[in-house]
Structure 1
Amino acid sequence: MDTKLLARIGAVIFIAIAITMTAIEMSRAPETARAEPAAVAETSAMDPLLIELRRCQSIGAAGASDPACLRAWGENRRRFLAPGARPAPRIADDTSAKEN
């Protein structure tokens, strides 16, 4: 067979499959929004670090110079990077444990 003919047949098959998949996807009913799991909602409401991180996110660029935000980001890094680290009961108030 000619190479051009094989390429055309392959292109037609690819387009047919793409159209079929699009039609199947469009015929599906839209999924309803899932509610946030209760365990995550309870944890986020009780975690002072998460509350502080959300506050820092809401103030935007001003958070880069806010000492409380810098402390919260440092604690978040410590929690994320430390192997087997347990979350601290609250954000440390002293600045003696600064990151390098």
Structure 2
Amino acid sequence: MESKVLVRIGAIIFVAFAITAAVVEMVREDAPVPPAAAPSLLPPPDPLRADLRRCQQMGEAAANDPGCLAAWAETRDRFLGRNRSSARTQPASE
């Protein structure tokens, strides 16, 4: 008989704890939302990104497009840390 009473008391305590936690969560105020970054602090848009997006939308035709080939070369040079002038002066190794 005592085990049933203990189980009931435990269930009541659990339900009371769950209700209390729910009420506290509903009453708690959310932290203020930080203001959006000022437009003057945003980095300037990268024109290379727009070119790459255009090439992506072109699909297979981009492989023959000189603009896409130039954009890919610029991206490759940026990734490898080369500037465009040094990339042009180095001979191509075969």
The TM-score, its normalising length taken from structure 1, stands at 0.40
Radius of gyration: which is bigger? Answer: 2
Question: Does 1 or 2 have the higher relative contact order (CA < 8 Å, sep 6+)?
Answer: 1
The TM-score, its normalising length taken from structure 2, stands at 0.42
